Amino acid sequence: MSKLVKIFFSPSNTTKKVVDIVSDNFDFDDETCDLLNFNSAKEISQGDIAVVGMPVFAGRIPKTARQRLEKIKGNNTPAIAIVNYGNAHVSDALVELIDVLKENDFNVVAAASTVSHHSIFDGVAIGRPDASDVKKINEFAQKCLEKIESKEELASEIPGNRPYVDYKTLPFLVECDETLCAFCYDCVSACPEKAIPDDDPIDTDLDLCSRCTACISICPEDARSFAGDAFEAKKPEFENANSERKEPEFYL
For the stretch 185-214, pLDDT in tens is 999 999 999 999 999 999 999 999 999 999
Nearest to 223 by CA among 183, 164, 165: 183
CA 119/CA 218 separation, integer angstroms: 12
Is residue 109 over pLDDT 70? Answer: yes
* The CATH number of domain 3-163, selected from 2.40.50.1020, 3.40.50.1220, 3.40.50.360, 3.40.50.410: 3.40.50.360
- What is the per-residue pLDDT for 153? 87
The CA-atom distances, in angstroms, between 234 and each of 17, 100, 215, 242 are 27, 32, 21, 12
152 falls in which pLDDT band (50, 70, 90)? confident
Architecture category of domain 173-239 in CATH: 2-Layer Sandwich (3.30)
Structural domain boundaries in the chain: 3-163, 173-239
Provide the pLDDT confidence category of residue 165 given band limits of 50, 70 and 90. very high
Whether the pLDDT of residue 2 is over 90: the answer is no
CA distance 220 to 139: 35
Residues in CB range of 125: below 8 A, 6 or more apart: 86, 87, 115, 116, 117, 118, 242, 245
pLDDT per position as a tens digit, 33-67: 999 999 999 999 888 999 999 999 999 999 999 99
- Cα separation, 9 vs 55, in Å, equals 7
Per-residue model confidence as pLDDT tens digits over 222-246 = 999 999 999 999 999 999 999 999 9
pLDDT band per the 50, 70, 90 thresholds, residue 1: low
